[in-house]
Amino acid sequence: MRLRTASGTCPRLWRALPCPPAELRLDLVLPSGQAFRWRESSPGAWTGVLAGRVWTLRQERDRLWYTVYGEEEEDGRPTGAAKPHSAETDQILRDYFQLDVGLQALYRTWGAADPLFREVADDFPGVRVLRQDPVECLLSFICTSNNHISRITAMIERLCQAFGRRLCCLDGQPFHAFPSLSALTGADAEAQLRALGFGYRAKFVSGSARAVAEGIGAEGLCRLRAAPYAEARRVLCALPGVGTKVADCVCLMALDKAEAVPVDTHVWRIARQRYGAALGGKSLTPRAHQEIGDFFRGLWGSHAGWAQAVLFCADLRKGQEPAGSRDQNWEGCGQDSCRDGPR
């Protein structure tokens, strides 16, 4: 397996991990709105940035193949070859996709508890929750309020190009690392973000970057992985632009809180219309968030957030909701219950 790019970078080294489609489907997970740094660079191949490196991933039968590109030289020329792969790069992918979690067993457990889950499970195998860098996940999801996936992806790309370190260029497209906290805490960071089209979110991105940098730091954010779910959510909700839904997204997708169920109007509608749950009254209040999360945790168990990710994927692919509804997963917070919107 070889891939040559127009820039001259030719990754000669590919490495494979054992990973059947029932445990991971790249085509379902990577474009589902969990992360915003991946694109389908050719049929079946996904290229993106992970852990400060540029990767291409693809699946063949029961193997997950990957290559990692070398960084540019100081004069801007590509190194011309992939970086050597090793047990370290294997572990980065295993950690990112949480491959130590047996997904097929979870599907069986959820299906036994929930007939509605059984209806979609066979058509949507391998939907996993990613384990992302907490800083990147936090600042990315602040950008999701009142937004849709394609626009969020473009915003994150502009953010990385403006503030992140350049890694390499493939097929004429430059790739950049996600910005460090320090890069986003300068006096003119908010103005720069507004110029990049972030609107009111510019204040929240720069404000949260500054609050984390001056408070618990990136290391402290990572340490929330070991904290109880309620404590992690409380710390996150104290940050500028972070409400209950965004906090739950970060808890689920970066802080190892598999029980976190991000709730917006879309999830609320699923709970009420498909499950007949009389939850939340007439508006999506903090109490409603808690009740709906508790309902799904009671139904699906300790990995309730993972089960919800499968249903989201099913909605997206089957078109069960109006056009663009999956994007509305990031639009539907009522102002009475979340601090993610404009003020």
Q: What distance in Å separates the CA atoms of residue 56 and residue 79, rounded to the nearest whole number? A: 16
Tokens standing for residue 315: 């909605």
The SS3 assignment for 180 reads coil
Q: Is 65 exposed, middle or buried (0-12, 13-18, 19+ CB in 10 A)?
A: middle
Ramachandran region, residue 52 (left: φ > 0; alpha: ψ -120 to 50; beta: rest) = left
**205 φ/ψ sector (left φ>0, alpha ψ -120 to 50, else beta):** alpha
- Helix (H) or strand (E) holding 67, with range, is strand 63-68
The one catalytic residue in 245, 257, 282, 318 is: 245
Name every residue whose Cβ is closer than 8 Å to that of residue 234 and which is 6 or more positions away in sequence: none
Looking at residue 69, what DSSP letter applies? B
Instruction: Write out the H or E segment, with its range, that includes residue 266.
Output: helix 265-269
| Residue 225: closest CA among 188, 200, 253 | 253
* H/E run at residue 175: strand 173-176
> What's the CA gap between 120 and 104, in Å, rounded?
14
Please calculate the CA angle 275-281-285 and round it to the nearest 5 degrees. Answer: 105
Catalytic annotation on 245?
A: yes
What are the residue numbers of the active site?
Answer: 245
